[in-house]
Chain A
Amino acid sequence: MYQTNMYEGMLSETITIGGHNGHTINAYLARPLGAGPFPGMVLIHHAPGWDEWYRETTRKFAHHGYVTISPNLYFREGHGTPEDIGAKVRAAGGVPDNQVVGDVEGAMHYLRSLPYLNGKVGVLGTCSGGRATFLVACRAKGFDAAVDCWGGRVVMSRQELNPKQPVAPIDYTKDLSCPLLGLFGEEDQSPTPAQVAQHEQELKKYSKSYEFHMYPKAGHGFFYYDRPNYRQEQAVDGWKKVFAFLEKHLSAPVRTPQAVG
């Protein structure tokens, strides 16, 4: 836990990494200053895009001691404001699941190439990024913990499947390769509590390590302080659970206070 007499510094910048099929994409990286070693986190942005909230959250994780990367999953759609690019992707029906998995895997490999990584990498996403988090945790090897925040459409009807999203993520549950934390709201329409329960049954069926928390009086996106669904009490508790879970599974180093005066 941060103490007021601790030194703290961070470096955050846009970088380029190898994504799906070896294509170059850009990403936002934030890391604590110092030799480390630090655990790593990949953040998967939500459907509205690679936006300010994700930059802030990337820095938030660095503040908590994680070298953190947020890949731009919409890089191939051209460049403009995050909203304009997000709108373009919305009109196109999203980006293909295979591409997302490849880009996130590329971000994980980038972290694993860093000399100051402690060898552990987690992944977190919200909204469609929560869905992608579960998908990646099932389909890619190399993650040590996954946090799905209100990922909708993990459970999909046959009618919802399409060439970009040909398989419902829930159907990959048997392949989940790391512990999973899920945060959901009772008032959410996607995923509904019934869909979350269905997902939980599947996790139990395959004896997966997971913990789900269903928050009362919360709906979709209750961490987003700039949206009407923000719920202060639930968000504070949710963040607490996220960092406790990650510290348990990624062995986040305990900061050693260094007196400055």
Chain B
Amino acid sequence: MTRLLSVNMEATVAVILFGVGFTMLLLHRNLIKKIMGMNIMDTAVYLFLAAKGYIDGRTAPIVVDGIQETSAYINPVPSGLVLTGIVVSVSTTALMLALTKRLYEQYGSLDLDEILILAKEEEEKRT
């Protein structure tokens, strides 16, 4: 197992990073820290994808001197996928931060449990 993991060190690190992000998402009560955990998970996915595209001893997929053999360049497809991932994560992060800001304006707290309790109290008052 250890030998198998060490051959795939990048993927292993990506998986552990993913786990760290997921743990942050679950265990932190602060919404900003939850968003940070989400971003760490995103980063793990980029690392995994970028590592999948790499091939030993080849260069970046930019044609130099007209060489167009497959054996000269790494796989360009994962690079494009990472680009998509980065754009989507920027958008979702901005959206989550905006929602957090609205929640803070409403309840004066970033703590999810506190917000839930305050929201429940508000609902009880209303009924």
A binds B: no
